[in-house]
Structure 1
Amino acid sequence: MTLGLLAAIAATFAWSLLYIFPGLVGDYSLFDLAVVSYGFAGIGSLLVLFFFRNEVRQLPLSDWACAALLGFLGYIGYFFLITTAVLAAGPVIPPVMMGSVPIVLAIAGNMRSSSVPWRAIAGPLVVAALGISLVNLSVFDFSSETVVLPTTSILFGLLAALLAIGFWIGFGLLNESALARRPSMSPMLWSAMLIFMCSVEMLAFIPVGLYLKLSHFASHPSGLAGTQALMVCGLIQGLGATLAGAWAWSIATRRLPLALSGQLIASGTIYATTMGLLLNQRWPSPMEAVGTGLLFVGVVWAIHAFYRRQTRLETRGGGERVIGGE
């Protein structure tokens, strides 16, 4: 369980970088960063697939189809739904809604596997949910005038955000089942398959992004000049946050119950908030500080609950083995 816990922490830390890099690429858009990062991730995944070339030759088409579906649910489709939600409903409401993903995923995982009693996880879930809410609500500036978007646009954005939540919940549940059905497959190989299919899907979605005018690169007057930050961030995001993050999450998914690994996703908010404050060279607001503190308490409380549950099961199992030996 310890290795799974460390892997989940590594994955959520890697994913928290996704909140930081968009602010470091200058005039380029999130879509531009995604295209570059998946380009590097695709190259990295190809190298991993070459390393596992003997196993790759024996993979059935169903494995690749499953990886393509999961890549679409958890990465490409999720990305475009969130982008659509932000464009339609503004930059505040969709991220606030997405803050519910760790809690919903933890609840869905425990409903399916019953890995820990509800009375043991209810407290951590409530505390973490409150912390996430406070951190996300801190982005509202109630003292400033805001542009009122059309109601139909906001409703469309809310629908896209709800679909994005559904996509990621589906990814978490299906990915856990897929790994359970392939106990002998290396998590690194599975992650490389998934990210490689993501890269192929991103190539197919480039025309969609251009049609939606999501790319600033296409209209950038200087062409390739000034793309150093975009390339560096894309390289780190592609190989670190995307490929290595997927690998770490595969390890965590195989070794932890989804009710715990799902809630650990919330720790990404702590990392992203901390790094954002450091980059902006400011102290957290009272709401940010309280929210981050509650989130930290909720995550640590959840880890303690699962460790206590595992210890009891191991003690009970050991006692039964002793009795049986007598």
Structure 2
Amino acid sequence: MAGGVAAGLVAGALWGLVFVAPRMVTGFSSVDLTAGRFLSYGAVSVLMLLWAARGPRRVPTGSQALAAIGMSVLGFTGYYLLLVLAIRDAGTEVPTLIIGTIPIWVMLLGKPEHLLWRSLVPGLLLTAAGLGLMMASPHAGTTAAGSPNYWRGIVLVLLALACWTAFAILNAAWMKKHRDVNATEWANWLGVATGLGALVLWLVAGSPARELAAQPQLPLFATLAVATGFGSAWLATILWNVASRRLSASLCGQLIVSETLFALVYSFAWDGQWPTPAQWAACVLFTLGILASIRAHR
């Protein structure tokens, strides 16, 4: 169990990076940011599959390939495109907090049958209290609350929340059902599907290659694409697959709180601001919520 918890927490730390990456570079569209990250993920996955091909080669069946395509839209290209659009419209903090409710939804929808509801209540209450405290903070949402597109951003992040909640539950069920497929294999199959989807997305709606090449921040964009593609997609997916196989969906859901914690830390660091006492208290509540949930699942 400890290994699964550690894998889920590190995955959350890597995912937290994607909340600040869109703010670190200008001149690139939301589609460019999404495609860049997931083309990198696809490229890493292809390289890993070619490396593995030196040994016994394993090819997904038709149903496994279809599952990878569907999951890649829910958990990667579709989710991240919606999130990037939401961050552009509504800033970082409020979308981060809305995405932070994913643990609550996954815990509610993915509770094991043997686990009593009262066992989940402490973790749920602590997480909800942390979210409420952070939402009430004066800093939350101030960067974009006056934007004319603010509420459009809120709608987009709610759609992103629905996508990733579905992915978390369906991916956990898939991993438990297909124990012959290891975590790295599944991450690579997802990566290939995600990379192909990102390529189609860029060809249809991305900026022309000549326009991208003329951007002064192209080196930074490429660096962010590689960093988030390798770390926040490929490596984080392997770690999340390990957690999904070893832990129940409800406990995995609670571990997603670490994504919110790290995203807030990265956001405060990027803005050069210290959290307020209320925000510190909210982070403590998030941490206690994770600990309470781990205890409930033992």
Q: TM > 0.5 between the two?
A: yes
Do structure 1's residue 70 and structure 2's residue 71 form an aligned pair?
yes
Question: What is residue 277 of structure 1 aligned with on the other side?
Answer: 268
How far 1:114 moved relative to its partner? 2.5
Larger Rg: 1
How far 1:242 moved relative to its partner? 0.5
Q: Once the two structures are superposed, what CA deviation does each residue of 1:16-48 show, in whole Å capped at 9, x if it has no partner?
A: 111232233344344333322222211110122
Question: What is residue 242 of structure 1 aligned with on the other side?
Answer: 233
Whether the 8 Å CA contact 1:86–1:157 is kept in 2: the answer is yes
Question: What is residue 134 of structure 1 aligned with on the other side?
Answer: 133
Identity of paired residues, percent?
Answer: 24
For 1:144 and 1:45, the matched residues in 2 are separated by 36
Which residue type is aligned with residue 10 of structure 2?
Answer: A
For 2:194 and 2:223, the matched residues in 1 are separated by 20
Whether the 8 Å CA contact 2:124–2:289 is kept in 1: the answer is yes
For 1:216 and 1:162, the matched residues in 2 are separated by 30
Question: What is residue 7 of structure 1 aligned with on the other side?
Answer: 7
Do structure 1's residue 104 and structure 2's residue 105 form an aligned pair?
yes
For 1:279 and 1:39, the matched residues in 2 are separated by 25
How far 1:129 moved relative to its partner? 1.6
Residues 90 and 208 of structure 1, relative CA distance in 2, 3 Å threshold:
farther
For 1:142 and 1:60, the matched residues in 2 are separated by 49
Which residue type is aligned with residue 71 of structure 1?
Answer: S
The 3-state SS of whatever aligns with 1:279 is: helix
For 2:143 and 2:70, the matched residues in 1 are separated by 44
Instruction: Name the count of aligned residue pairs.
Output: 295
Which residue type is aligned with residue 196 of structure 2?
Answer: V
How far 1:258 moved relative to its partner? 0.8
Whether the 8 Å CA contact 1:95–1:136 is kept in 2: the answer is no
For 1:127 and 1:225, the matched residues in 2 are separated by 45
For 1:233 and 1:144, the matched residues in 2 are separated by 23
Q: Once the two structures are superposed, what CA deviation does each residue of 1:260-289 show, in whole Å capped at 9, x if it has no partner?
A: 111110111212222333333332113311
How far 1:2 moved relative to its partner? 1.1
Whether the 8 Å CA contact 2:78–2:163 is kept in 1: the answer is yes
Do structure 1's residue 164 and structure 2's residue 172 form an aligned pair?
no
Structure 1 alignment gaps of length 5 or more: 308-326
Do structure 1's residue 121 and structure 2's residue 120 form an aligned pair?
yes
Whether the 8 Å CA contact 1:22–1:29 is kept in 2: the answer is no
Q: Once the two structures are superposed, what CA deviation does each residue of 1:196-241 show, in whole Å capped at 9, x if it has no partner?
A: 101100111114533xxxx598756x71544221122211111111
How far 1:55 moved relative to its partner? 5.7
Moved more, 226-235 or 9-18: 226-235
For 1:260 and 1:12, the matched residues in 2 are separated by 13
Structure 2 alignment gaps of length 5 or more: none
Which residue type is aligned with residue 35 of structure 1?
Answer: A
Question: What is residue 25 of structure 2 aligned with on the other side?
Answer: 25
How far 1:125 moved relative to its partner? 0.8
Do structure 1's residue 49 and structure 2's residue 40 form an aligned pair?
no
Q: Once the two structures are superposed, what CA deviation does each residue of 1:65-110 show, in whole Å capped at 9, x if it has no partner?
A: 10010001111111233345556x6446544432321110111110
Do structure 1's residue 182 and structure 2's residue 178 form an aligned pair?
yes
Question: What is residue 146 of structure 2 aligned with on the other side?
Answer: 146
Which residue type is aligned with residue 128 of structure 2?
Answer: A
Question: What is residue 82 of structure 2 aligned with on the other side?
Answer: 81
For 1:116 and 1:19, the matched residues in 2 are separated by 33
For 1:97 and 1:17, the matched residues in 2 are separated by 16
Whether the 8 Å CA contact 1:81–1:163 is kept in 2: the answer is yes
How far 1:249 moved relative to its partner? 0.3
Question: What is residue 259 of structure 1 aligned with on the other side?
Answer: 250
For 1:143 and 1:16, the matched residues in 2 are separated by 19
Moved more, 275-284 or 180-189: 275-284
- 1:205 paired residue among 190, 201, 204: 201
Residues 36 and 80 of structure 1, relative CA distance in 2, 3 Å threshold:
closer
Which residue type is aligned with residue 2 of structure 2?
Answer: T
Supply the RMSD in Å over aligned alpha carbons.
2.8
